Amino acid sequence: MPMKLVILDRDGVINFDSAQFIKNPAEWKPIPGSLEAIARLNQSGYKVVVATNQSGIGRGLFDMDTLNQIHEKMHKALYTVGGRVDAIFYCPHTADSDCECRKPKPGMFKRISETLNIDLTGVPTVGDSLRDLQAGAAAGCKPLLVLTGKGEKTRAEGNLPPGTTEYADLARAVDAILAKGKA
């Protein structure tokens, strides 16, 4: 049986986003319902992977140790509701660097595919910004836009990848993923 996988952006999807970046664990606050939604995916046999641009590292706003502390807080919060993230992939580079991993480029998604040895065709990817959806779509994923974080602005700006579906938040997106999984 093929692996069931969902790829999530972090800021604006799992936790509240900030124009000033999430720079320490105290600033990481889950969006209501998001942790429980991840737990429901886990309980339905899905692996959950996070793919996140973290240019704050490249900008010198925080270091790897701090990023690890933020993710440790996320892991602990998920654990308390019976959920887990199986892997976190991130790009530490700034927007002006010429890396292949920063979304909207699909490099992070290619790494996920290679690491997990899975074809990403049709794998749901949930994001709140156009670049999240573009990176996923370029890797063959099914783009899901949530209207939390930058989602409302992203929807208003348009030019979404073909086949993008929209949901109020991660909890509603997970409802749809699980409904399709049973089909």
pLDDT tens digits for 49-85?
999 999 999 999 999 999 999 999 999 999 999 999 9
Q: Which domain holds residue 90?
A: 4-181
Confidence grade of residue 3 (pLDDT, cut at 50, 70, 90)? confident
> What percent of the chain shows pLDDT beyond 90?
94
Q: Determine the pLDDT at residue 182.
A: 64
CATH code at position 46: 3.40.50.1000
E strands present in the chain? 4-8, 46-53, 87-91, 124-127, 142-146, 165-167
Strands 142-146, 124-127: pairing is parallel
Kindly report, residue by residue over 165-183, the tens digit of the pLDDT: 999 999 999 999 999 876 4
Model pTM greater than 0.85? yes
Query: Is 11 a known active-site residue?
Result: yes
Q: Give the number of other CB atoms < 10 A from CB of residue 90.
A: 19
pLDDT of 10 strictly over 50: yes
The token duo for 177 is: 């993923």
Please give the mean pLDDT across all residues of the chain: 96
Number of structural domains in the chain: 1
> DSSP letter string over 60-76?
TSS-HHHHHHHHHHHHH
Give the mean model confidence (pLDDT) for residues 119-147.
98
Q: Determine the pLDDT at residue 103.
A: 98
Q: Which of 9, 128, 132, 169 is catalytic?
A: 9
**Do residues 48 and 34 touch, judged by C-beta distance below 8 A?**
no
